[in-house]
Structure 1
């Protein structure tokens, strides 16, 4: 039992002190040996004497006192460590504007004014991708069928908006919500979202995962458009693959054309690159400048299959690829911020630094479209 208790903290302490993701064969053998020795000592010097200690069992009060002391021995250092970690996270966040400019570092004339040894954010924990909040569910009475209500959110409420934007798609439009919120604030828009992870705004047979669930979600897209009556719809225009491809399916094109024919302005986001490895994890293991942690992708090229459709009236394309992967190369860190959380989703922190540039590009695309869509109000 002592070996069970000891092995994990010893291993984690070693990895933290040596700044390594895992123990190798030699260090692993040494850790096992150290754990065995410590386990024997703890068993003989702590566990066995405590088993023979009769004093706590002479009264309930004594037993309760021992239990309280044992709990405190664990709770106090754990609480102290958590408070220290939270304080550290707050300090990093408070200094982020100065130490972690992210995409702002790509602007002409930028000069880094932060601390030379500032930490890269966010801290990569290995947890699943944490999506930005979508706000409150769409209120009752909007005319949306209960079957589809679970995917509808009133992300940026506005009782008297200059325009209403509907965001439709999966996690690759979901990740842009912090930038969409800034865009809406700049233009006094309302934003409603209808999003489900893994689902493409295409045809049921074109889905790459969760086929039945995505078919149900897709069934609600037209009713949601009818109920929300948007002036503008933001969609994922193309899809990247980890096999260096950019997909624009007939179903995607059909959906976009259908919206435009109904008189709705459409912004198609060109997808971000995705990889067969996790850039941030690679950077943590090998360093942010390691050659194996950088990559390119065909989706960073100038030609997109969405471009011909984007020439139609009321359809425009926005491409943020050059601000995620400058000069056609995707590095794991830009402006002291990790760009990707996993192999295909951008970190919330990097999207926040992209938000002003995202808003500018969407506004410019809408103005260039010539449809007279109200921006810059």
Structure 2
């Protein structure tokens, strides 16, 4: 087992090119650059070289020594950036983003940020998302997870090598090929099925690290003439730089399209192994590029928080040329300072095998300080929060009932709205978070039960997509008093409609849901009557078809006119501009034209009872984000639970009217 461990200066240059591409594409284009994929290939190459050469030299590899060696290199800069984000985030970020940012800081510290983002459904490429200042730690998390996985993989190969008495390199090659094939196939599959999730899934990225391992086994055997090597190297660099410009990065990463930046990195590294007079390695391995390469890790860590805070402070989602260059230069400057005065002194303290508790004290102190800072931030936010549970029933917080005829408007005074800004994003019907609302890929109809389950009088089902789900809360509020079982039968992104959509799981779910409701002996279905987008001026035919199916099964329908879609994320808009700002409202006649789509129907289904509540939360001119001292929405269009529950008297009256008339 012959391993040639050698210093490769062109890799330092390749790293800084990758980091600069990430920063440039983030700042000015908000597109995938391919730079992170290069990091993964290089990491696979270097860590494989390190572990295998250590085994060849010593005859063993130790997990504790391996992991502690990594942590001393990775944590100093990372902890400093996380401390900076924690302190600056408290003062700079809108209050509505505090809790999410704190959760992601902890996720970044413990290397599971990629899964945190996957589970909350973040689309890395969606420009309308308000991104966390530590969101870029998803790549560091995958890399940290990979190191542990790779130690296990190489340990397995060592075990097989000893037990089977087979050639180590050949065994390792077979394992790497299997990992590459399995991960690459899974990456293509998951990217097609659920691209935002695939972007953060560790399993879709293992093949990129495996390419680095395969390159380590093969690179010393590749011989290229000088001219060919020069062409190969420069082709690789140009291909890498052009990744985000030439490819459909928004919809296809990290599937087969990621082969482009991965193979670009491979070409550059192969050329570096075969130096030529005018080869790319001369540029990448030059002293300035090597020096900048030493700052590439810090550049990656610093640029994103600075960009995130810039967006907030400047009140914009775009960065000009001058300000963008300043962000990059400031990131490089901070990287130099943190590398010179934090990382290197700590690394000098932890030399060789000096992996003692005493040696790691600076890192432990920084980690402890970070956890204390996050805990303090959390405590302050909790202390400052208004208790929604205590105020939701308060007459000073009537919500939509402020516009009811019987409400005494003269006694109403405006107060700080609830939920508190630190809580509003989480103030949603529990069906969104407990698994009752089915996610994409799930086609089987699931029925979650609330309210009375025995000796009941009626069964009411809330059916449809996420904009139906928030109506479950007010129905549950009076279910026990009216002896009603409540069923939540909802699926994310899937309206109660027989119109064909791209998602086959949604089509299948809609084909089966009427029978499932009939089997459950449902008396009344609560769902949407239309789609609240201004361009949707008619009730979709698929809605009518579903209502007719329910009619055939003797099920009544309460069809509610859809709630409005706003141009901005409501909590973000209120935090940044105030609830009275015009940008936080939408024109009533724009989202609620008259007559309504339902009123235009000539022969509406006889089993449908249509209700329109929009006059309770919109005046003649505007639909506003705060009504009756309650914030109405936790994003662009979904109601907060507190706001939805203020509809309880209206919904109770209309539901009971239908049920009692049967």
Return the TM-score normalized by structure 1.
0.75
Distance in 2 between the 1:310 and 1:85 partners? 54
Q: Judging changes above 3 Å, is the alpha-carbon distance between structure 1 residues 156 and 237 closer, same or farther for their aligned structure 2 residues?
A: same
2:551 pairs with 1:267: no
1:167–1:191 CA contact under 8 A, matched in 2:
yes
Residue 55 of structure 1 deviates from its aligned partner by 9.2
2:462–2:487 CA contact under 8 A, matched in 1:
yes
Distance in 1 between the 2:461 and 2:350 partners? 70
2:408 maps to which of 106, 109, 115: 109
What's the counterpart of residue 227 of structure 1?
519
Choose 1 or 2 for highest CA Rg: 2
Deviations 1:43-67 (A, max 9, x none): 4443343343369976724235444
Residue 3 of structure 1 deviates from its aligned partner by 4.7
Distance in 1 between the 2:417 and 2:332 partners? 36
Q: Judging changes above 3 Å, is the alpha-carbon distance between structure 1 residues 241 and 68 closer, same or farther for their aligned structure 2 residues?
A: same
2:353 pairs with 1:60: no
2:543 maps to which of 229, 252, 263: 252
SS at 2:623's partner residue? coil
Distance in 2 between the 1:126 and 1:33 partners? 37
2:399–2:643 CA contact under 8 A, matched in 1:
yes
Distance in 2 between the 1:316 and 1:303 partners? 17
2:369 pairs with 1:73: yes
Q: How does 1:147-226 map to 2 (within 5 A)?
A: 149-203=444-498, 206-210=499-503, 212-226=504-518
2:382 maps to which of 86, 103, 111: 86
Residue 318 of structure 1 deviates from its aligned partner by 1.6
Q: Judging changes above 3 Å, is the alpha-carbon distance between structure 1 residues 12 and 79 closer, same or farther for their aligned structure 2 residues?
A: farther
Q: Judging changes above 3 Å, is the alpha-carbon distance between structure 1 residues 130 and 291 closer, same or farther for their aligned structure 2 residues?
A: same
Distance in 2 between the 1:201 and 1:64 partners? 57
The Cα RMSD (Å) is 4.0
What's the counterpart of residue 587 of structure 2?
295
What's the counterpart of residue 647 of structure 2?
354
1:55–1:62 CA contact under 8 A, matched in 2:
no
Residue 322 of structure 1 deviates from its aligned partner by 1.4
2:381–2:422 CA contact under 8 A, matched in 1:
no
Residue 249 of structure 1 deviates from its aligned partner by 2.9
What's the counterpart of residue 342 of structure 1?
635
Q: What residue ranges of structure 1 are gaps of 5+ in the alignment?
A: 139-146
Residue 164 of structure 1 deviates from its aligned partner by 1.1
Residue 7 of structure 1 deviates from its aligned partner by 4.7
Q: Judging changes above 3 Å, is the alpha-carbon distance between structure 1 residues 235 and 228 closer, same or farther for their aligned structure 2 residues?
A: same
Deviations 1:305-350 (A, max 9, x none): 4345797654311212112323352122223433233333223332
2:452–2:483 CA contact under 8 A, matched in 1:
no
SS at 1:201's partner residue? coil
Residue 216 of structure 1 deviates from its aligned partner by 1.0
SS at 1:247's partner residue? coil
What's the counterpart of residue 372 of structure 1?
661
Distance in 1 between the 2:656 and 2:544 partners? 22
Distance in 2 between the 1:13 and 1:199 partners? 35
Q: Judging changes above 3 Å, is the alpha-carbon distance between structure 1 residues 61 and 338 closer, same or farther for their aligned structure 2 residues?
A: closer
2:566–2:586 CA contact under 8 A, matched in 1:
no
1:182–1:359 CA contact under 8 A, matched in 2:
no
Bigger shift: residues 20-29 or 186-195: 20-29
Distance in 2 between the 1:352 and 1:284 partners? 23
Return the TM-score normalized by structure 2.
0.46
Q: Report which structure shows greater RCO (CA 8 Å, sep ≥6).
A: 1
Q: Judging changes above 3 Å, is the alpha-carbon distance between structure 1 residues 42 and 126 closer, same or farther for their aligned structure 2 residues?
A: farther
1:338–1:350 CA contact under 8 A, matched in 2:
yes
2:587–2:622 CA contact under 8 A, matched in 1:
yes
What's the counterpart of residue 431 of structure 2?
133
What's the counterpart of residue 143 of structure 1?
none
Q: Judging changes above 3 Å, is the alpha-carbon distance between structure 1 residues 82 and 272 closer, same or farther for their aligned structure 2 residues?
A: same
Residue 228 of structure 1 deviates from its aligned partner by 0.8
SS at 1:62's partner residue? coil
Deviations 1:234-272 (A, max 9, x none): 2322223242x3332333223323433543322122222
Q: Judging changes above 3 Å, is the alpha-carbon distance between structure 1 residues 341 and 208 closer, same or farther for their aligned structure 2 residues?
A: farther
1:301–1:328 CA contact under 8 A, matched in 2:
no
Bigger shift: residues 179-188 or 278-287: 278-287
Deviations 1:256-297 (A, max 9, x none): 234335433221222223355545544444433233442224
Give the helix-richer structure, 1 or 2.
2
